[in-house]
Structures are given as structure tokens and as C-alpha cells.
């Protein structure tokens, strides 16, 4: 067995993560809209596929970093239902890259305690990908580390509509009564059921939209939008987003004065910023 991610983590990165953990309350669930692969490639006069390939390196680094720092759930938007409308050749390349990623990574994810899941209309994916997703989910089902969810052929509205259909069927069957349809009940019918709602929603490449991602679940997520293109987004950028998150006041409709200190543990980020600058001189 290869050494685990914790065993191979550089000392300075370990130190930085430990400082980050003490600086504020970690988000339980981070959701990311990984955008900008195409632009990354175009800027370099490369075909778009080169951006998708480099984007996979970012996925590897972010998954590893999230796992090492102890995040509970990481949900990555890898392919939207709308992305089926892209040129056939690009869709086909994306599916090939996805299959290759799963083939290469599932074992390593498992060895590092990651629980792999997928959400979306996955029966629209190539059979080979469906099989790998199923095997990966089965193999890692009992793992207790990071829950890594890949949103594939995903649409937030589609999931809500699908959940409504199932609920309607349950009402007809008599196993659900209309009075019991609460917000919690609706959450439990979504594909994200069992996961806490995202606390932090990151979008790369500067676009300021949700693109049909986790529409129900992100009701109170803190949004972090960075101009960095996804292939350039690595662990130092994740750490920056965490620092930014620690500085937010999550009021959930209340006034500042109503909040207990424990709701928003204040963090002293100046020291961390200096530490980050030291490690990443950029």
C-alpha cells in the first residue's frame, strides 16, 4: 500500500493546516463549482481538453487537502446536466477523463478513508463510468473520512423535481402524508440527503452565478468567488477561502448583537496571513 496522504504531507503544510483549524470553525461542507478550464487552456493556446486535464490535478490536490485538514464533506460540480449541450467531442473527452480519474483514484481514495458518492442523473453517463461510480461507492461506503461527492449530470432543479415525484408517489401509496412535508422532509428526499448543507460555496473563474448547483442546499451557504481559474486553484487558494470564511459573520437572519460569541468564533487571521505569505510567496 502506498503511504497515506497524512504520511506524505509536508511539515510546513501540516503546520499551516493546524493553524487554520485553530483560527476558526471549519465549514462542515464545502461545495465547489469548478469553472474556467476552457479559459485556462485558451490563454495558453492549448485545446480545451488541456484545461480539463490540468483541472484534474486541482481536483487531486483539493481532495487531498480537504481530507488532510479534516473537512467532513466536499461536493464538486464536475459536469452539469446543461453540459450535455456542449460539442459532442468535448463531452466525450470529459467522459473519458472522468473514467480515467475514477480508475486511477478509487483505490487511493479508499486507502485514505474517503467515502465516494455521486449525485445527478447518473444513468445518463456512459455505462463504464456508472460501473466505476457504483464500485467506488460500494468499496468506500463504510469509510469515515472525507465524504467526496461528485455532481455529475447534475441539475439542482432536476433533483428537486425528482424528489417531488417520489414524494407524490409516497403520498399516493400512503407512506407520506402532506402535513409531514417539512423542509427537513424535502431535504431527506434530495440526493444530498444525510449531508449537512454546504457552509461554504466556492466558484472559480470569477463567474457570479449558481449554474443550477445545489439550489435547495445552498440557502445559507457563504459564497466565495475567486478569479482563479480552476486549473490554477490549489490548496493555498482553498486555505485563502477558509481564511475569508472565518471572517464572515453568519447571522441567519438575526442581528449582529443577537449572536452569541460561540456562533461566530472570532479568528485572528493576521498571523495566518503572514504564515501563508511565507509559504506561498505570491
Q: At what angle do helices 269-279 and 235-246 cross, to 10 degrees?
A: 170
Q: Rounded to the nearest whole angstrom, what is the least distance from the CB of residue 222 to ligand IPE in the complex?
A: 19
| Binding residue (CB under 6 A) for ligand IPE from 39, 60, 248, 250 | 39
Nearest to 131 by CA among 122, 144, 142: 122
Closer by beta carbon to Mg ion, 54 or else 72: 54
Which residue's beta carbon is nearest to the bound Mg ion? 35
Q: Rounded to the nearest whole angstrom, what is the least distance from the CB of residue 50 to Mg ion in the complex?
A: 15
- Would you state the torsion angle of the CA atoms of residues 202, 207, 209, 213, taken in this order, to the nearest 10 degrees? -50
DSSP letter at 276 equals: H
78 lies in the site for ligand IPE, by CB under 6 A: yes
Cβ neighbours for 17, distance < 8 A, ≥ 6 positions apart: 65, 68, 69, 239
Cα(134)–Cα(146) distance, integer angstroms: 18
CA distances from 241 to 9, 81, 172, 222 (A): 20, 27, 45, 10
The H or E element containing residue 118 is: strand 115-119
120 lies in the site for ligand IPE, by CB under 6 A: no
Q: Which of 11, 12, 13, 35 is catalytic?
A: 35
| Binding residue (CB under 6 A) for ligand IPE from 21, 209, 251, 274 | 209
Which range of residues in 117-125, 201-209, 235-243, 248-256 is near ligand IPE by CB under 6 A?
A: 201-209
Which range of residues in 15-23, 29-37, 102-110, 233-241 is near ligand IPE by CB under 6 A?
A: 29-37
Query: Which stretches of the chain bind Mg ion, using CB under 5 A?
Result: 35
Residue 255 has phi, psi (to 5 degrees) of -90, 160
Q: Tell me the per-residue interface mask from 223 to 252 with ligand IPE, x by CB under 6 A, - otherwise.
A: -------x----------------------
Which residue's beta carbon is nearest to the bound ligand IPE? 38
Could you tell me if 157 and 188 are in contact, meaning their C-beta atoms sit under 8 angstroms apart?
no
38 lies in the site for ligand IPE, by CB under 6 A: yes
Instruction: Tell me if residue 35 is catalytic.
Output: yes
DSSP reduced 3-state for 105: helix
Which conformational region is residue 121 in: left (phi greater than 0), alpha (psi within -120 to 50 degrees), or beta? beta
159 lies in the site for ligand IPE, by CB under 6 A: no
**Catalytically annotated residues:** 35, 83
User: Which chain residues interact with ligand IPE by CB under 6 A?
Assistant: 33-39, 77-80, 82-83, 94, 205, 207, 209, 211, 230
Amino acid at each position: 500500500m502506498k503511504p497515506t496522504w497524512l504520511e506524505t504531507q509536508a511539515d510546513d503544510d501540516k503546520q499551516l493546516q493546524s493553524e487554520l483549524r485553530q483560527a476558526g470553525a471549519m465549514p462542515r461542507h464545502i461545495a465547489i463549482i469548478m469553472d474556467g478550464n476552457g479559459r485556462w487552456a485558451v490563454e495558453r493556446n492549448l485545446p480545451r481538453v488541456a484545461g480539463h486535464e490540468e483541472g484534474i490535478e486541482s481536483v487531486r490536490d483539493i481532495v487531498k487537502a480537504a481530507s488532510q485538514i479534516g473537512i467532513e464533506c466536499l461536493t464538486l460540480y464536475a459536469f452539469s446536466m446543461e453540459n450535455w449541450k456542449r460539442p459532442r467531442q468535448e463531452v466525450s473527452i470529459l467522459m473519458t477523463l472522468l473514467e480515467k480519474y475514477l480508475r486511477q483514484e478509487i483505490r487511493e481514495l479508499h486507502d485514505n478513508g474517503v467515502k465516494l458518492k455521486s449525485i445527478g442523473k447518473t444513468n445518463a453517463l456512459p455505462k463504464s463510468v456508472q460501473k466505476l461510480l457504483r464500485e467506488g461507492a460500494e468499496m468506500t461506503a463504510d469509510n469515515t473520512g472525507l465524504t467526496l461527492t461528485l455532481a455529475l449530470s447534475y441539475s439542482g432543479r432536476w433533483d428537486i423535481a425528482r424528489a417531488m415525484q417520489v414524494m407524490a408517489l409516497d403520498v399516493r401509496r400512503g407512506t407520506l402524508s402532506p402535513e409531514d412535508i417539512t423542509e427537513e422532509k424535502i431535504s431527506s428526499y434530495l440526493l444530498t440527503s444525510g449531508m449537512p448543507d454546504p457552509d461554504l460555496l466556492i466558484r472559480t473563474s470569477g463567474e457570479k452565478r449558481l449554474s443550477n448547483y445545489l439550489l435547495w442546499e445552498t440557502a445559507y451557504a457563504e459564497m466565495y468567488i475567486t478569479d482563479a481559474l480552476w486549473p490554477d486553484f490549489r490548496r493555498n487558494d482553498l486555505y485563502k477561502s477558509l481564511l475569508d470564511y472565518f471572517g464572515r459573520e453568519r447571522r441567519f437572519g438575526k442581528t449582529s448583537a443577537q449572536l452569541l460569541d460561540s456562533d461566530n468564533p472570532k479568528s485572528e487571521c493576521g498571523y495566518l496571513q503572514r504564515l501563508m505569505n511565507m509559504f506561498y510567496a505570491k
